[in-house]
Amino acid sequence: MLRGLSLLLIALPLGAAIFPDQIGDFSKSSPKALSVADQALYNEYGLLASEQAEYARPASQTAPAARFSASAWHMRDSTGALAVFQIRRPAGAVQDKPDQLLAKTSDGVILAFGNYVFQFTGEVPKADDLDQLYNQVPELEQAALPALPGFLPRQGMIPNSERYLLGPVSLDRFEPRIPPAVAAFHLAAEGQVAKYQSPKGPITLVVFEYPTPNMARERSQGFQNLAGAVVKRTGPLVGVILQPPDADAAERVLGGLRYEAKLTLNEKVPKDESKGFAKLILNVFAVSGVLVALSILLGIAFGGFRAVLKKMGLTRQDEDEMTVLRIEK
Instruction: Give me Rg for the CA atoms of the chain.
Output: 35
Q: Mean pLDDT for each consecutive 10-residue tract of the chain (329 residues)?
A: 40 66 93 93 97 94 91 97 97 87 95 97 92 94 93 95 98 98 97 97 97 97 96 97 96 94 51 60 80 82 73 63 60
**Residue 34 CA neighbour count, 13 Å, CB half:** 25
Q: Say if residues 188 and 146 touch (Cβ distance below 8 Å).
A: no
Same domain for 89 and 195, yes or no, is: no
The domain that holds 66 is classified in CATH as: 3.40.1000
Per-residue model confidence (pLDDT) at position 17: 86
For 63, residues 6+ apart whose C-beta sits below 8 A from its C-beta are: 25, 57
Per-residue model confidence (pLDDT) at position 288: 82
Same domain for 2 and 124, yes or no, is: yes
Per-residue model confidence (pLDDT) at position 294: 80
Domain of residue 107: give its range: 1-142
Per-residue model confidence (pLDDT) at position 16: 64
Same domain for 181 and 273, yes or no, is: yes
Per-residue model confidence (pLDDT) at position 276: 62
Give the total number of structural domains in the chain: 2
Q: Which of 231, 232, 244 is nearest to 204 (CA)?
A: 244
Residue 223 and residue 237: Cα distance in Å, rounded?
12
- 227 lies in some domain: yes
